[in-house]
A and B are shown apart, each in its own frame.
Chain A
């Protein structure tokens, strides 16, 4: 079998796992939970196989040695690897805490990444490396960055769960904050789904996709009526989430997940992700840039956004450890950090220009 077939299996399985985890959360049927975990394990093993096979395919094609031919050189490969790190971290948590309820909050992040791959029609073939990427630093820099990204994503999921679990009434700022954030997240996912159904997109690059198709069926439609309808729809959707958000609270509470556990998980993931990101993302990135471009820091948008991301999590740690911030305030910082992370990872490559532009292919 080829790597693409294994990738296909894992993508479908992850989407199924997402549905299964959400059903498990709603129906609390333990068989459904076991099914969800089983599907996730199958998907994970299949994806690992795919990754290793693609590594070999790339190695045979490029003749650059094993270290340099790790398949992590374009947006498609990196999104897939991001999903892999995320699921790995999730499975560790599921095993350690023997609680499957997190799955319903973490697998949708994976689902969103996989959906974006399919909707945007990004190139999935193995592309040869430009000279600047031919370095042993590629492996450590990219792998460590993505481990940190996965940690930050988990911190986001547990942060949202924390907010859902602890916010009391619908008029409190925290309640509005988490329902709106979750609303935006789901509305984007939905709008991308509608794009896909409307256009069955077959564009060459994510750049072209964003310019000509993203949200064209909804928020950026040519018809003013459609645009208005989309915004009204999104607002109504958020209103419903806001109105019935307490259901989430009941569901999470019914799984014996305490706020303390969620708070601790959020902190632990950031405490692990932050040093890994500092070393792998910033320090190793700087050393590599020094070798390849003759500059360890050039305020390129990717570098600058990484620094912003670093400041956000440094803020989280200082506020928590020195100021003793606990509770919703600190969880909200973790949630905001995730949005900075998404922008650092995807937004910079897709919307801004700079030296890291090859990541957008």
Chain B
């Protein structure tokens, strides 16, 4: 691969280029360096953000120009740009050709089991030890065989003109590790391509109680699901009294051909999969609407209890009394300021609260805020209004994905694990032991070679020699 003649056909020149390690290193570097730009420039955000960022580097006057130049080169969405994809394809081609270029030689080595070799080859081995045993050659052969077995090698025997040769090897197939690793990178890239072309990645915001048979990509594009998905309920749990969510989950129902086929509670890290489409819990939000229902449990002063469900603006009567309450205001996240005045501090339902106006026989009595997360606010002069739930005004944010390539990616990951293990933690070791008659004694010469981790083999052979000499 290194002799570059001018007379070579173009295809050979391209082959040589792609199979060279220098080329691979150039591709590694290009992918890395351009990727760095992509981590500094925020991807797929509004232009103002990156113009502001560029101002820091090139100053205010040049920032818009710099932005235009970078934008036209695709840096604002660079991981999807044609040239970055091209780099990844070149990387893939490089891996394929490098592997094909080197595989035949290695394959021959793997195909051919170890054979007895002549003395001059043995002399050239990187590891050599010798010892003289005071036994006959047959006894010596048995001893060597036993010792090799102890270190995990099963020896074959060959009668040579000048003596007996024992030979054994281990880890022949570990030489394939590096090719498995290369193959796995290819599989992962193929899996990604399959996912891009035959899958989709969309989202769906479902209000509690509603259903949909499409998901969305961006603002416009609708993707038909082929079935209906309904959000029965949504709930967030917080850590203590903070607004840090501990867990949020949706209760979903899949309706296929008018039949309820799946009912499942999903949460972050625990998605729902149906007919190849996966629904991930990704976000949530508040969506004020008049159909939402407040669920209260009313308890009067003398202990009578009644559960009610009301819409905004509707009224209830405390059980067994003439006292009525009307929901006159609502806040998704209520807080009191320093002077005790309530205000809404977030768009999310961090702390939903209702403002209830109480009347007795139609006469105004008092008004109070009832906060769902603060039971002490439920107590009123005429009993308790337990704020149980507020249903139909929260939506669950679902990430909706179909990725038929993901199993290829996973397969690639498994092969990569095996390949890396074989490449770094296994080695191909070969041992030849020549036994020669030497006046009733036996001369034992051990020769060995290994493609990596030489020290460990040397230690093993040392052990064999030590045992034999006892």
A residues sitting closer than 8 Å to B (CB atoms) are 128, 130-132, 134-135, 271-272, 274-275, 278-279, 283, 286-287, 290-297, 299, 301, 304-305, 307-308, 311-312, 314-315, 318-319, 322-323, 348, 352-353
B278 touches A294 (CB 8 A): yes
Interface string of B415-447 (1 = CB under 8 A from A): 011001101110000000000000000000000
Nearest CB of chain A from residue B204's CB, rounded to whole Å: 12
Report the separation of the CA atoms of residues A142 and B232 in the bound assembly, to the nearest whole angstrom: 36
B36 touches A308 (CB 8 A): yes
B192 touches A297 (CB 8 A): yes
B40 touches A352 (CB 8 A): yes
Most buried by A among B278, B410, B420, B421: B420
B246 touches A131 (CB 8 A): yes
Contact residues in A for B247 (Cβ distance below 8 Å): 131, 134
In the complex with contacts A295-B201, A323-B21, A352-B40, A128-B246 CB distance below 8 A? yes
Nearest CB of chain A from residue B340's CB, rounded to whole Å: 28
Contact residues in A for B267 (Cβ distance below 8 Å): 131
Report the separation of the CA atoms of residues A287 and B270 in the bound assembly, to the nearest whole angstrom: 13
Q: Which of B24, B39, B282 contacts A348 (CB 8 A)?
A: B39
The stretch of B25-33, B155-163, B322-330, B352-360 that contacts the partner chain: B25-33
A287 touches B424 (CB 8 A): no
B269 touches A291 (CB 8 A): yes
Nearest CB of chain B from residue A66's CB, rounded to whole Å: 17
Nearest CB of chain A from residue B16's CB, rounded to whole Å: 15
Q: Which of B42, B244, B269, B406 contacts A296 (CB 8 A)?
A: B406
Known pairs A293-B282, A311-B28, A319-B25; list 4 more (Cβ under 8 Å). A131-B267, A134-B269, A318-B21, A318-B24
Report the separation of the CA atoms of residues A3 and B120 in the bound assembly, to the nearest whole angstrom: 65
In the complex with contacts A295-B401, A315-B25, A132-B269 CB distance below 8 A? yes
Interface string of B237-278 (1 = CB under 8 A from A): 001000011111000000000000000000111110000001
B25 touches A294 (CB 8 A): no
A286 touches B413 (CB 8 A): yes
A130 touches B245 (CB 8 A): yes
Chain A binding surface, main DSSP class: helix
Contact residues in B for A290 (Cβ distance below 8 Å): 406
B245 touches A131 (CB 8 A): yes
B24 touches A299 (CB 8 A): no
A283 touches B416 (CB 8 A): yes
Question: Does B334 sit within 8 A of A, measured CB to CB?
Answer: no
B413 touches A283 (CB 8 A): yes
Question: Does B99 sit within 8 A of A, measured CB to CB?
Answer: no
Question: Does B301 sit within 8 A of A, measured CB to CB?
Answer: no
Contact residues in A for B244 (Cβ distance below 8 Å): 128, 130
Please tell me the size bucket of the interface on B.
35 or more
18 A-B pairs with CB atoms under 8 Å apart are: A128-B239, A128-B244, A131-B245, A131-B246, A131-B267, A134-B247, A134-B268, A279-B417, A283-B417, A286-B413, A292-B269, A294-B282, A294-B401, A295-B401, A296-B406, A304-B35, A307-B32, A312-B32
Question: Does B38 sit within 8 A of A, measured CB to CB?
Answer: yes
Question: Does B79 sit within 8 A of A, measured CB to CB?
Answer: yes
Chain A, Cβ-Cβ closest to B280: A294
Contact residues in A for B424 (Cβ distance below 8 Å): 271-272, 274-275
Question: Does B399 sit within 8 A of A, measured CB to CB?
Answer: yes
In the complex with contacts A130-B244, A132-B269, A283-B413, A318-B25 CB distance below 8 A? yes
A132 touches B413 (CB 8 A): no
Question: Does B376 sit within 8 A of A, measured CB to CB?
Answer: no
Question: Does B409 sit within 8 A of A, measured CB to CB?
Answer: yes
Contact residues in B for A322 (Cβ distance below 8 Å): 21
Contact residues in A for B423 (Cβ distance below 8 Å): 275
Contact residues in B for A272 (Cβ distance below 8 Å): 424
Q: Which B residues, 27 to 81, have Cβ-Cβ distances below 8 Å to chain A?
A: 28-29, 31-32, 35-36, 38-40, 42-43, 79
B32 touches A275 (CB 8 A): no
Q: Which B residues, 5 to 37, have Cβ-Cβ distances below 8 Å to chain A?
A: 21, 24-25, 28-29, 31-32, 35-36
Chain A, Cβ-Cβ closest to B202: A294
Interface string of B336-370 (1 = CB under 8 A from A): 00000000000000000000000000000000000
The 10 residue pairs across chains A and B that have the minimum distance between CB atoms: A131-B268, A294-B280, A275-B420, A294-B399, A301-B39, A299-B79, A128-B239, A283-B413, A308-B32, A135-B269
Nearest CB of chain B from residue A317's CB, rounded to whole Å: 9
Contact residues in B for A274 (Cβ distance below 8 Å): 420, 424
Report the separation of the CA atoms of residues A348 and B420 in the bound assembly, to the nearest whole angstrom: 27
Contact residues in B for A318 (Cβ distance below 8 Å): 21, 24-25
Contact residues in A for B29 (Cβ distance below 8 Å): 311, 315
Report the separation of the CA atoms of residues A311 and B248 in the bound assembly, to the nearest whole angstrom: 37
Chain A, Cβ-Cβ closest to B178: A321
A287 touches B278 (CB 8 A): no
Report the separation of the CA atoms of residues A22 and B440 in the bound assembly, to the nearest whole angstrom: 60
Contact residues in A for B24 (Cβ distance below 8 Å): 318
Nearest CB of chain A from residue B99's CB, rounded to whole Å: 12
Nearest CB of chain B from residue A330's CB, rounded to whole Å: 13
Chain A, Cβ-Cβ closest to B28: A311
Nearest CB of chain B from residue A294's CB, rounded to whole Å: 4
B420 touches A278 (CB 8 A): yes
B417 touches A294 (CB 8 A): no
B43 touches A299 (CB 8 A): yes
Report the separation of the CA atoms of residues A271 and B21 in the bound assembly, to the nearest whole angstrom: 19
B39 touches A304 (CB 8 A): yes
Q: Which of A132, A294, A312, A352 contacts B271 (CB 8 A)?
A: A294
Contact residues in B for A278 (Cβ distance below 8 Å): 416, 420
Nearest CB of chain B from residue A155's CB, rounded to whole Å: 14
Chain A, Cβ-Cβ closest to B281: A131
Chain A, Cβ-Cβ closest to B267: A131
Nearest CB of chain B from residue A275's CB, rounded to whole Å: 4
Chain B, Cβ-Cβ closest to A303: B39
Report the separation of the CA atoms of residues A293 and B201 in the bound assembly, to the nearest whole angstrom: 11
Most buried by A among B31, B32, B281, B423: B32
Most buried by A among B35, B201, B244, B416: B35
B38 touches A304 (CB 8 A): yes
